[in-house]
Structure 1
Amino acid sequence: MADYTLHCFLESGNAYKPALMLQLAGADWDAAFVDFMNGANRSPEFRALNEMGEVPVLIDHTQGDIVISQSGVMLWHLADRFDQFAARNAEEHREVLRWLLWDNHKFTGNLATFRFMHKFMGKGETPEAQFAKARMIQAFKLLNRRLEEREWVAADRVTIADLSLAGYCFWPDHYETDWNDYPNIKAWLGRIEALPNFARPEDILPTSAA
């Protein structure tokens, strides 16, 4: 048995966040496919694993099969073991947490909503989708400004804040975005891609149970 099992599927940027961290850390982990598009996350079996019915779910077999939901919590938990991605002092802890919360509320929160409506539901022109798109663009502008004179978001090196924010950034065509319009984000993503052991979502997340 691997040290970690990540219940996930390819299209989930939130699943890619812990998958990317595990990959970069060289961890011993397996991916367990969740057929989200056909409602597997709503099955009694899956809800017994995660009452929220959300993907991803991480099981840490090194600590008595701890079951963890919510990608930000997974990253925080994994940082205890793979401390190269962790904060190193109180100031960095505050910054990492600040950007994790901002990511979930403003960055991923709006990006993933617009992406789902545009790419998977064909409702990208609805008022609700356009509202999420406008909020997404504002978040892109803020992150681009943040990276104006720095390489990483929360510290002088890559942290779980960067890995969280990058989760949905490798499908720009899914949400009508050209990273050339945000050169600092584009350069930041290049730095992430240059990290040892980096792999794109399609290389490490499953598309079927096979």
Structure 2
Amino acid sequence: MLFKRPVLDRIAAGTVTLAFRRWRRPTVRAGGTLTTPAGVLAIEAVDVVAAGRITEAEARSAGFTGRDDLLAGLGAAEGESYRIAFRLQGEAPRAALRQQDDLAPDEVAALQGRLDRLDRSARHGAWTRAVLRLFLALAGIAHDYVALDLAVPRAERPEPFRRASRFGEVPVLVTDSGTLCQSDAILIHLAECSGRFGADSPAGWDEIRQWLFWEANRIGFSVPNLRFARRVASNTPADVLRWLEARARGDLDRLEEELARRAFLAGESPSIADIACAAYLWWLDEAGLDPFGWPAVQAWLGRLAAIPGWRHPSELMAG
């Protein structure tokens, strides 16, 4: 059960003590706990509730402006509506553990042994290192990665994917509260829910969104299509290749101009704007472009690669 950052802040302040979700089956239980960035929540009650019986006061206790706002947030996902009552029990244990990184050799060996036992018992082969590395690389959000063969026609792709992907495309994020499509929409959602790689102010979010929309229309179009044309579609007409290369060079020039005067695109720290705009730039040479023709861009990619837990996208996507 995920919460957006503004709700997490109100949970920490003690002003949000309810949540409403539409589930096929509950993912939390009364008497259990839930660890969130705000701390550990003690789950006090999990009840099915008819939408018509949700009150204005309950909606406000869940962080919404009112009942209509809450019902709009529940959407039309399959399942029943649940009311979850909770209280903030204390600080998340991992918050303290993250500071304890000076492990003795025997502690490292014990941890390695536990991971090896998990790998040996897994039905689909070793997975712990991949999941842990992805957890670190993607803002500390634990998840399962399911690869999809894009060579398979959309109508023949696995039924769970076709049900989850409203546009028939990847990526798709599936959570206990529903599904979300389109990479930039997913990035915004994860940044808001995790409190990582987002912004601290509305103006900061406006800056991030501008770069995300630019990426979707510009460099997220030009560079990957140029790479595809040169590596795969060998029959691409020469005039199309020239157009794609000119557009890609123009987009890289724009990034070069921006990054010559700032370390990151939307502030002093890396954000989802950087993650999105850099997505295809690790393979510029495969698009027939000299990466060192844009030195500020290369320096920026180096700063991103220096973030703790970073791995090359080719390695991440390999699982």
Same fold (TM over 0.5): yes
Q: CA-to-partner distance for each residue in 1:42-87, whole Å, 9 max, x for gaps? A: 43623322132211111124xx3x2111100010000112223111
3-state SS of paired residue (2:173): strand
Q: Please give the alpha-carbon distance, in whole angstroms, between the structure 2 residues aligned to 1:181 and 1:20.
A: 31
Q: In structure 1, what is the equivalent of residue 213 of structure 2?
A: 101
Q: Please give the alpha-carbon distance, in whole angstroms, between the structure 2 residues aligned to 1:95 and 1:126.
A: 36
Q: Please give the alpha-carbon distance, in whole angstroms, between the structure 2 residues aligned to 1:109 and 1:136.
A: 8
- In structure 2, do the counterparts of structure 1 residues 81 and 109 end up closer, same or farther at CA, with 3 Å as the change threshold? same
RCO greater where, 1 or 2, for CA within 8 Å and sep 6 or more? 1
Structure 1 segments of 4+ aligned residues over 4 angstroms from their partners: 19-22
Q: CA-to-partner distance for each residue in 1:164-201, whole Å, 9 max, x for gaps? A: 00111111222112221100000000000000110111
Q: Is residue 164 of structure 1 aligned with residue 279 of structure 2?
A: no
TM-score normalised to structure 2 length: 0.54
Identity %: 29
* Aligned counterparts, 1:130-209, within 5 A: 130-206=242-318
Q: Please give the alpha-carbon distance, in whole angstroms, between the structure 2 residues aligned to 1:100 and 1:21.
A: 23
- In structure 2, do the counterparts of structure 1 residues 20 and 149 end up closer, same or farther at CA, with 3 Å as the change threshold? farther
TM-score normalised to structure 1 length: 0.81
Residues 134, 142 of structure 2: 8 Å contact kept: no
Q: Please give the alpha-carbon distance, in whole angstroms, between the structure 2 residues aligned to 1:40 and 1:82.
A: 34
Residues 144, 185 of structure 1: 8 Å contact kept: yes
* Higher Rg: 2
How many residue pairs are counted as aligned between the two chains? 186
The Cα shift of 1:22 comes to 6.7
Q: Is residue 33 of structure 1 aligned with residue 114 of structure 2?
A: no
1:92 pairs, out of 173, 187, 204, with: 204
- In structure 2, do the counterparts of structure 1 residues 31 and 41 end up closer, same or farther at CA, with 3 Å as the change threshold? farther
Q: Which runs of 5+ in 1 are unaligned?
A: 1-18
- In structure 2, do the counterparts of structure 1 residues 126 and 42 end up closer, same or farther at CA, with 3 Å as the change threshold? farther
* Aligned counterparts, 1:12-161, within 5 A: 23-36=137-150, 38-43=151-156, 45=159, 46-61=161-176, 64=177, 66-123=178-235, 126-161=238-273
Q: Which runs of 5+ in 2 are unaligned?
A: 1-132
Q: Please give the alpha-carbon distance, in whole angstroms, between the structure 1 residues aligned to 2:232 and 2:135.
A: 26
